[in-house]
Chains A and B, each alone.
Chain A
Amino acid sequence: SQELEQSPQSLIVQEGKNLTINCTSSKTLYGLYWYKQKYGEGLIFLMMLQKGGEEKSHEKITAKLDEKKQQSSLHITASQPSHAGIYLCGATGTSYGKLTFGQGTILTVHP
């Protein structure tokens, strides 16, 4: 089965600082997804990466997938309190659905 490890487990930053969250897979990924979850709520889709070396950005968040398709990073530039939450990477090993998730990274942004 696909196993995903995220680091760090938690992160506390001052508003305005940049930060990076990593996600490492034990196997080659077919698709890598980043979701954000606010405490006690559902998951909100951020980005999906499929190709080795792919990079996507949305507002101040950039996600990258390495060439070997086993590691992804999520970078937030000039963090804001609204970025606070739990960031989860999820991966598929085949062509559809059945996401397996990492354990999540808890991000706290102090004003």
Chain B
Amino acid sequence: DAMVIQNPRYQVTQFGKPVTLSCSQTLNHNVMYWYQQKSSQAPKLLFHYYDKDFNNEADTPDNFQSRRPNTSFCFLDIRSPGLGDAAMYLCATSGRQGNEKLFFGSGTQLSVL
């Protein structure tokens, strides 16, 4: 089935050690999003790609970067994770047309030790 796949499901990293989370999609969607969801909070949009165009949210820390080498893959890089970056990271995709729903992956739960 077409879907959004996130790897790994759980990621443990050390304070300050760079970490990369990955997302792939078989939906051939133009738009890919990264959301951060801390415990008991709403998902918060970090940035999104519209095709190859990167769109950063104004309050996303510089510590967070993203790459989209092709339509299918998108990566979230955290350059120097802090304890406050421990969260669920959700990848989502949508088509180019207006009012299309977002398809979410199962998320990557990041722990920072």
Contact = CB atoms under 8 A, between A and B. Distances in A.
B97 A96 contact: yes
B81 interface: no
A96 B94 contact: yes
B43 A97 contact: no
A102 B33 CA distance: 17
B48 interface: yes
Given A96-B94, A97-B48, A104 B100 contact: no
A72 B82 CA distance: 37
A96 B94 CA distance: 9
Interface in A4-56: 4, 30-31, 33, 35, 40-45, 48, 50
Interface of A: 4, 30-31, 33, 35, 40-45, 48, 50, 88, 90, 92, 95-104
Interface residues of B, number: 28
Contacts of A98: 33, 45, 48
B3 to A, nearest CB: 10
Interface string B37-78: 000111111001000000000000000000000000000000
Contacts of B101: 33, 45, 48
B34 interface: no
B102 A42 contact: no
11 contacts: A30-B99, A42-B6, A42-B90, A42-B104, A43-B43, A43-B90, A45-B104, A92-B99, A98-B45, A98-B48, A103-B41
Contact of B42 (A42, A44, A102): A102
A96 B98 contact: yes
Nearest to A35: B104
B13 interface: no
Contact of A101 (B42, B97, B99): B42
B109 interface: yes
A70 B11 CA distance: 38
Given A40-B88, A40-B109, A96 B42 contact: no
